[in-house]
Amino acid sequence: MYRSKSKSRLLASAAVVAALMLGGCQTAQLGTTTGSIAQASSETDPRHDAQVWGERYSKNQKDPEAGIRYAQALRAMGQRAQAVAVLEQSSLNNPHNAEVLGAYGRALADSGQFAQALDVLSRAHTPDQPDWRILSVQGVVLDQMGRHQEARRHYLSALRIVPDEPSVMSNLGLSYALSKNLREAEDTLRRASAKSSREPRVRQNLALVVGLQGRFQEAQEIASADLSPEEAAANLEYLRNMIAAEKNKGKPTQRLLRQAANNS
């Protein structure tokens, strides 16, 4: 998703948005984020993790943590099909493990298998014992399928469990944006940002939505809270070019948001 390590997360978010508009099947890191289940840490070396956890997984494929961590590393390296295969086997060995099922569902969504992802995620928790993280990921998948009202019902259900949770609010805000309601999206993302001043991804989503309304200077100021001025300016220039390209094609600017996650 990221063009290079030096590019900011805002630019990555914009790239994610463009990909979904064009029919891409990535699972956006909304906050892709965003309360996501079994996400690999950006602070670790995925190649090292793949070696360590891959060896542990090879010794015992019934070890749920090994399966999850190995798949995380594989996904971080872009090996999505292999990650799905690992988690599929892990889910067979641990059919009632909610963490395994949650990770498997997200990996399926990453690979564009949305219907199967929803089926797996629905088995990762029960109506009488809902998991807000899984509800949020289900919402992300539904948004990617264009089922925005259903997605928002899942986010709102999650927020009843964890009121004002910034990651869920961030996903909810982007869901509004996907429905071309940029004003509601901005309001929701501002509330999410206020609740999580130390979470840069929420601010980057806010900057993206503000930029998509043509308020580039304000978007750059928001992005600059986490980026150097040069990076923020480069990202906003990238966003301007995306919007201009869409206008030249006769498409509304809001359609850029059809890729908005996790991973988000």
Residue-wise pLDDT tens digits, 11-59: 444 444 443 333 333 333 333 433 334 444 445 688 999 999 999 999 9
Q: pLDDT by residue (tens digit) across 71-82?
A: 999 999 999 999
> For the chain, how far is it from start to end, CA to CA, in angstroms?
11
In angstroms and rounded to an integer, the radius of gyration of the C-alpha atoms of the chain is: 18
- Tell me how crowded residue 153 is: count the other CB atoms within 10 A of its CB: 15
> How far is it, in rounded angstroms, from Cα 29 to Cα 201?
9
> How far is it, in rounded angstroms, from Cα 30 to Cα 141?
11
SS3 state of residue 220: helix
Residue 192 and residue 161 in contact, taking contact as beta carbons nearer than 8 Å: no
Question: Domains of the chain, with CATH numbers?
Answer: 1-35+126-264 (1.25.40.10), 38-124 (1.25.40.10)
Mean pLDDT of the chain: 80
Output the pLDDT for position 152. Answer: 97
pLDDT mean over 100-117:
94
> How far is it, in rounded angstroms, from Cα 182 to Cα 254?
8
The distance from CA 91 to its chain's CA centroid, rounded to whole angstroms, is 22
- Tell me how crowded residue 177 is: count the other CB atoms within 10 A of its CB: 29
pLDDT band at residue 95 using 50, 70 and 90 as cut-offs: very high
Task: From residue 52, give the alpha-carbon distance in Å to each of 83, 84, 106.
Answer: 15, 18, 22
pLDDT band at residue 247 using 50, 70 and 90 as cut-offs: low
Mean pLDDT lowest for which of 52-66, 90-104, 228-242? 228-242
